[in-house]
Structure 1
Amino acid sequence: MAACSSGRPSIPPPCSTGPHTDRAPDARALLGGDAYTGVVLTVLDNNPGWTREYAERIVTEALKFVHAASLFPTVPISPTEEVDEGWHALILHTRVYAALCSGLGRMVHHYPERPEAAREDPAVLTRTMALIEQAGYMADAELWTGHQRELVGVARHTPMPGGCGPINPGNCATHGGSGDD
């Protein structure tokens, strides 16, 4: 998500440092059963060899990611390569994605960028996981940190300060065009 205002964005602390419910909400509830299944099947179609259980985990994390992006529109976040597969599958289901974003209160746009070392942000995954927790969910640590519990690679790099990049909830006027992917 692009930080479209000047200055450093404020990042709330993870939920684990404050009060939270014993049971996190199920992000799958953001979509109807048929819509969720359709997105999962798209992930499977695009990734031969993945199990249905793995595809479901990826789509669920993508839903958490989009929800967090909608709640914290000025904080730069990014999905891992795996979670990005789920987000792209959501975007391909245009009516489902539009309804999801409408229900969340804002469109979360995707602005593809080519990787550039100058925009790399080593803290982006830690920040993304913290915001997913702030949204009320438990992040699937393996999809964000891998089996070794080290942060895994991001699918997109974050934008330069003040610019609009790969993720934008629709409130940044500095990026030309519609921003739809």
Structure 2
Amino acid sequence: MSMPVPDPPGNPIPTGPRALVGEHFDNVRKTVLDANPDMPEDMADRIVEEGIKFVVTCAQNPGVGMAPSRVVDEGWHALLLHSVLYAELCGQFGSFVHHYPGWDPTHYDPAILDRTRELIARAGFDVDSELWGAPDEKLLVSVSANCQHAPNCSIRPMPKPEWP
């Protein structure tokens, strides 16, 4: 069952993802690089940027099931580790976005990634499509995040969703 994509919550975000976290961007990128020592810095930048876009869009769209790709999940995990920054980012754009991890490649549902990418674009961000592939696609890089979010494990802001 596919959930409809809601209308955007308001005006698109007027700035890029780096500006939304300011000087903290470098620290979040370093968290990604610490977990992935062979990753090029420019790839870590891209992953963190997509993680920020994902969190902001989730915060703006409470009640809409969304999920990151496995690669983008790496950026989300790094943001979560910077808990004060993460809480402020969520609060600035809407609801706190909780993380309900799960790893089971059979949970993968392309529609949830399509919906998530569409909502990110509607929020005013450019989507880095290369980082939003299926879990079984050859990744551009190896990532430490061992999660695959899907319909029964989708991300919804507070309160915790009730599963069917």
Given the two structures, how large is their TM-score scaled by the length of structure 1? Answer: 0.73
Question: Secondary structure at the residue paired with 1:132?
Answer: helix
1:109/1:167 contact within 8 Å kept: yes
Q: Which 5+ residue runs of structure 1 have no aligned equivalent?
A: 1-6, 15-19, 145-150, 176-181
> How many equivalent residue pairs?
151
Report the equivalent of 1:26.
Answer: 16
Report the equivalent of 1:171.
Answer: 159
1:12/1:134 contact within 8 Å kept: no
Change (3 A) 1:174 1:12: closer
Q: Which 5+ residue runs of structure 2 have no aligned equivalent?
A: 137-146
Change (3 A) 1:13 1:166: closer
Q: 2:104 aligns with which of 115, 123, 133?
A: 115
CA distance, structure 1, for counterparts of residue 130 and residue 4 of structure 2: 26
Q: How does 1:31-180 map to 2 (within 5 A)?
A: 31-33=21-23, 35-115=24-104, 117=106, 119-144=107-132, 151-153=133-135, 155-160=147-152, 165-172=153-160, 174=162
Cα RMSD between the aligned structures? 2.7
Question: Do residues 11 (structure 1) and 1 (structure 2) align?
Answer: no
Q: CA deviation at 1:116?
A: 6.3
CA distance, structure 2, for counterparts of residue 9 and residue 172 of structure 1: 18
Q: Per-residue CA shift, 1:78-137, capped at 9, x if unaligned? A: 1111111110000011111111111112100001123163x4322122111101001110
Change (3 A) 1:171 1:27: same
CA distance, structure 2, for counterparts of residue 172 and residue 111 of structure 1: 9
1:13/1:130 contact within 8 Å kept: no
Q: Hey, which of these two has a bigger chunk of helix by percent? A: 2
CA distance, structure 2, for counterparts of residue 157 and residue 67 of structure 1: 17
CA distance, structure 1, for counterparts of residue 114 and residue 150 of structure 2: 13
CA distance, structure 1, for counterparts of residue 58 and residue 103 of structure 2: 20
Change (3 A) 1:26 1:153: same
CA distance, structure 1, for counterparts of residue 59 and residue 89 of structure 2: 10
Change (3 A) 1:111 1:54: same
